[in-house]
Structure 1
Amino acid sequence: MEKKHSTYRYSAISIKHTIAVRFRSFSKKMAQSHSECLESIMDFFEWHGLDPSKKFGKSIIQEILKNRQRTETSIKRNEATIAIIRDIEINQTKPNNAMLLALFGEDAKTKKPLRKERKQLENKSKPIPEIEVTVPKIRYERLSEKLEKIKQDYAHVLDKVELVKGSFGKAYFKLELTPSELEKFKRTLKNHS
């Protein structure tokens, strides 16, 4: 790997020997080359607007105050951005979401009256108006089918129940189901809950 030292033009600077030794040790800690180290030092002073010949006290305090003002400004901008995003969510996203739910069979209007009903329950002085809940036809048909299936399952289970009278003790019921049938009913109940 060839270094690109030949592409740069170098220039010599005369400085005291003690300062050169100190700068070399400082440069080893901070950067790969002396040029990079010196450049980063100059960039630091220029960017912060510091003058090395003056005392740092006043200029550092001024820089801190500038940074504080920048921070406060950025916080205000962030808060404004958050307010805009919340406004978009309330005025644009939620209505679109409600339309999509209504399109796919979920009735978005049934949720709003439930919230109103809860609020009215807290105010017991006002009478609670009756709320008419509408369910889409497809959802009603699916619920009816599920109810019929559950009724059939319960009828099947009740057909498998037998009363057993023992010679000692009380009579008890015996359920004659195979393990696979029992697992099927458990899965069905878990899916419907």
Structure 2
Amino acid sequence: MSKNNKTYKFSAISIKDNVAVRFRLFSKKIAKSHTATLSIMMDFFEWHGFTPSDRFTQSLIQELLKNRARTETSIKRTEATIAIIRDIEVNQTKPNNAMLLSLFGEKIKEEKPIRVEKKFADKPVDEKNVVDSIVPKIRYEKLASKMENVSTDFKYVLDKVTTVKNSFGKDYLKLEISKSELENFIRTLKKL
């Protein structure tokens, strides 16, 4: 079909008489020409990924609504996952970082509250009551036990180190543990 010359190239298709009459009636409702009706129908099926032989439970609209419901539930799940990750960041990562910094003697940045209640704004704040960071007791105990395990392992390794005197060069240190013990220590340190 070329629009400039307004000449059309037609092709004939053999269709049963009753189907042709039905299509002509249907075509009058949809578009101006039979060609436009067929192209609209084919675009619809290709766009939505359906085939004309598919049988839907009750109607096409209900299938589309089911797809929309699936999309909405996946969006809700994604939003819930984002909320969980933000909660983990606020409740787990920041206190752990604060505790690790306090273990290594680093100063923790004090975060100023966004809003201050009026009843506390007028009263002077005692320096004794101000705590740099608040860490739940369970997390503190877990970190303390991990630190204790690491320190005992470190003492064990240091006990196995001996100095070897070399007659032609510098003295060096020799670690007298098995390869499996070394790999075990490396694994435990990576877990921390």
- Bucket of the pairwise TM-score, normalised by the shorter protein: 0.3 to 0.5
* Structure with greater helix share of residues: 1
Which one scores higher on RCO, CA 8 angstroms, separation ≥ 6? Answer: 2
TM-score (norm 1): 0.43
